[in-house]
Protein backbone atom coordinates (compact mmCIF):
# COMPACT_ATOMS: atom_id res chain seq x y z
CA UNK A 1 0.00 0.00 0.00
CA UNK A 2 1.48 3.27 -1.15
CA UNK A 3 1.10 6.61 0.62
CA UNK A 4 2.88 9.75 -0.57
CA UNK A 5 3.79 12.64 1.72
CA UNK A 6 5.41 16.03 1.45
CA UNK A 7 6.72 17.72 4.56
CA UNK A 8 8.62 20.81 5.59
CA UNK A 9 11.18 20.60 8.36
CA UNK A 10 14.13 22.49 9.83
CA UNK A 11 17.47 20.77 9.33
CA UNK A 12 20.26 21.48 11.79
CA UNK A 13 23.47 19.53 12.41
CA UNK A 14 21.71 17.26 14.94
CA UNK A 15 18.61 16.48 12.84
CA UNK A 16 18.28 12.94 11.49
CA UNK A 17 14.91 13.18 9.74
CA UNK A 18 15.08 9.61 8.45
CA UNK A 19 15.45 8.29 12.00
CA UNK A 20 12.57 10.50 13.20
CA UNK A 21 10.35 9.03 10.48
CA UNK A 22 11.46 5.46 11.24
CA UNK A 23 10.91 5.85 14.99
CA UNK A 24 7.48 7.44 14.48
CA UNK A 25 6.40 4.73 12.03
CA UNK A 26 7.68 1.98 14.35
CA UNK A 27 5.61 3.42 17.20
CA UNK A 28 2.50 3.70 15.01
CA UNK A 29 2.90 0.11 13.84
CA UNK A 30 3.47 -1.22 17.36
CA UNK A 31 0.46 0.71 18.69
CA UNK A 32 -1.63 -1.22 16.16
CA UNK A 33 -0.10 -4.61 17.01
CA UNK A 34 2.14 -4.81 13.95
CA UNK A 35 5.70 -5.91 14.66
CA UNK A 36 8.38 -5.61 11.98
CA UNK A 37 12.15 -5.85 12.07
CA UNK A 38 13.91 -2.44 12.15
CA UNK A 39 15.39 -3.02 8.67
CA UNK A 40 11.91 -3.75 7.29
CA UNK A 41 10.49 -0.54 8.78
CA UNK A 42 13.41 1.43 7.36
CA UNK A 43 12.65 0.08 3.87
CA UNK A 44 9.02 1.23 4.16
CA UNK A 45 10.16 4.88 4.00
CA UNK A 46 11.51 5.90 0.61
CA UNK A 47 12.80 9.43 0.05
CA UNK A 48 11.68 10.75 -3.33
CA UNK A 49 12.66 14.39 -3.59
CA UNK A 50 14.30 17.00 -1.44
CA UNK A 51 14.40 20.74 -1.99
CA UNK A 52 16.49 23.13 0.04
CA UNK A 53 14.71 26.33 0.98
CA UNK A 54 15.62 29.22 3.29
CA UNK A 55 18.50 29.17 5.70
CA UNK A 56 18.18 31.06 8.98
CA UNK A 57 20.21 31.78 12.07
CA UNK A 58 18.52 32.10 15.46
CA UNK A 59 19.48 34.37 18.38
CA UNK A 60 21.94 31.79 19.68
CA UNK A 61 23.80 31.71 16.37
CA UNK A 62 22.51 28.26 15.40
CA UNK A 63 21.88 27.86 11.69
CA UNK A 64 18.97 25.84 10.35
CA UNK A 65 18.01 24.99 6.80
CA UNK A 66 14.37 24.66 5.73
CA UNK A 67 13.93 21.44 3.74
CA UNK A 68 10.94 20.31 1.69
CA UNK A 69 10.96 16.52 1.58
CA UNK A 70 8.78 14.21 -0.49
CA UNK A 71 8.69 10.60 0.61
CA UNK A 72 6.76 7.41 0.02
CA UNK A 73 5.42 5.22 2.79
CA UNK A 74 5.13 1.69 1.39
CA UNK A 75 3.26 -0.48 3.87
CA UNK A 76 3.16 -4.24 3.31
CA UNK A 77 -0.23 -5.90 2.83
CA UNK A 78 0.07 -7.71 6.16
CA UNK A 79 -0.33 -4.47 8.15
CA UNK A 80 -3.51 -4.98 10.18
CA UNK A 81 -4.99 -1.49 10.32
CA UNK A 82 -3.13 0.36 7.56
CA UNK A 83 -5.42 3.41 7.53
CA UNK A 84 -5.10 3.80 11.30
CA UNK A 85 -1.33 3.36 11.15
CA UNK A 86 -1.03 6.06 8.47
CA UNK A 87 -3.32 8.46 10.34
CA UNK A 88 -1.44 7.98 13.61
CA UNK A 89 1.92 8.30 11.83
CA UNK A 90 0.94 11.62 10.22
CA UNK A 91 -0.64 12.92 13.42
CA UNK A 92 2.43 12.03 15.48
CA UNK A 93 4.66 13.87 13.00
CA UNK A 94 2.50 17.01 13.13
CA UNK A 95 2.45 16.94 16.93
CA UNK A 96 6.24 17.09 17.11
CA UNK A 97 7.09 20.75 17.62
CA UNK A 98 10.49 20.41 16.01
CA UNK A 99 11.88 19.89 13.46
CA UNK A 100 8.73 19.22 11.36
CA UNK A 101 6.53 22.22 10.68
CA UNK A 102 4.13 20.87 8.03
CA UNK A 103 3.13 17.54 6.45
CA UNK A 104 0.66 16.70 3.68
CA UNK A 105 -0.52 13.27 2.51
CA UNK A 106 -1.39 13.46 -1.18
CA UNK A 107 -1.43 9.84 -2.34
CA UNK A 108 -3.47 7.18 -0.56
CA UNK A 109 -4.00 3.78 -2.18
CA UNK A 110 -6.66 2.83 0.39
CA UNK A 111 -8.67 5.97 -0.38
CA UNK A 112 -8.34 5.29 -4.11
CA UNK A 113 -9.72 1.77 -3.59
CA UNK A 114 -12.64 3.15 -1.55
CA UNK A 115 -13.44 5.76 -4.20
CA UNK A 116 -13.40 3.14 -6.97
CA UNK A 117 -15.69 0.87 -4.96
CA UNK A 118 -18.11 3.72 -4.16
CA UNK A 119 -18.16 4.77 -7.80
CA UNK A 120 -19.04 1.22 -8.87
CA UNK A 121 -21.81 1.08 -6.26
CA UNK A 122 -23.29 4.38 -7.43
CA UNK A 123 -23.29 3.31 -11.07
CA UNK A 124 -24.82 -0.05 -10.09
CA UNK A 125 -27.82 1.54 -8.34
CA UNK A 126 -28.27 4.45 -10.77
CA UNK A 127 -30.45 2.45 -13.26
CA UNK A 128 -32.86 1.64 -10.43
CA UNK A 129 -33.60 5.34 -9.95
CA UNK A 130 -33.90 6.32 -13.62
CA UNK A 131 -37.63 5.39 -13.86
CA UNK A 132 -38.32 7.55 -10.82
CA UNK A 133 -36.45 10.46 -12.35
CA UNK A 134 -38.29 10.06 -15.66
CA UNK A 135 -41.61 10.53 -13.86
CA UNK A 136 -40.35 13.74 -12.26
CA UNK A 137 -39.12 15.24 -15.49
Determine the structural domain holding residue 104 and report its residue range.
2-108
55 occurs within a structural domain: yes
How many separate domains does the chain show? 1
Three-state secondary structure call for residue 4: strand
Least confident of 3-7, 31-35, 57-61, 117-121: 117-121
- Determine whether 71 is exposed, middle or buried from the number of CB atoms within 10 Å of its CB (0-12, 13-18, 19+): buried
For position 96, which CATH number holds? Answer: 3.30.70
- 114 domain residue, yes or no: no
Lowest mean pLDDT across 54-58, 98-102, 129-133:
129-133
Does residue 118 belong to any structural domain of this protein? no
The answer as to whether 120 is a domain residue is no
| Mean pLDDT for all residues in the chain | 86
Is residue 117 a part of any domain in this protein? no
Amino acid sequence: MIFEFVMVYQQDPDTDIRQILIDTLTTSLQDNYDEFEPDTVEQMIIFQTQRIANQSTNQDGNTTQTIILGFTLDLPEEVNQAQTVVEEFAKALTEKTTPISHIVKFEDSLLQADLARWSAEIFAIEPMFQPCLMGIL
